[in-house]
Amino acid sequence: MKKNDWKERLNIVYSTNPDFQYSTDEKEEIATLPKQQQRLRVSIEKNHRGGKTVTLVKNFTGTDDDLKELGRLLKTRCGVGGTVKEGEILVQGDFKQKIVEILLKEGYTQTK
């Protein structure tokens, strides 16, 4: 299948300089560490959330797809909503102990 890279170049000003090299500011994704090496931290937060309690999972090292997959697993097992953004998993409600137990069962041994 042909890749349409013109969509990636929208709003770009082109140069007439023959030595001009186009580059994007995309950062490379880091390979996902094995589950035993992940140092996940689970915490509860209420600040800046309109009084609602959320459970945060931080310090995941890996690709965005793997992070989203872990977030989907946690939200499904807890039976609540949430989101994955800025490298953190947010689960609606106070599920700290349950999430730690789920992560330990899944093989994330360095979870606190």
Among the listed residues 37, 58, 68, 52, the one whose alpha carbon sits nearest the alpha carbon of residue 100:
58
pLDDT digits (tens, 9 = 90+) for 71-99: 999 999 999 999 999 889 999 999 999 99
Q: In degrees rounded to 5, what are phi and psi of residue 92?
A: -70, 130
3-state secondary structure of 111: coil
Enter the pTM of the model.
0.72
Per-residue pLDDT at 74: 94
Give residue-wise pLDDT tens across range 61-74: 888 899 999 999 99
Q: Which domains does the chain have, with CATH numbers?
A: 31-106 (3.30.780.10)
* Strand 41-45 relative to strand 54-58, pairing: antiparallel
Contact assessment for residue 67 and residue 74, using Cβ atoms and an 8 Å cutoff: no
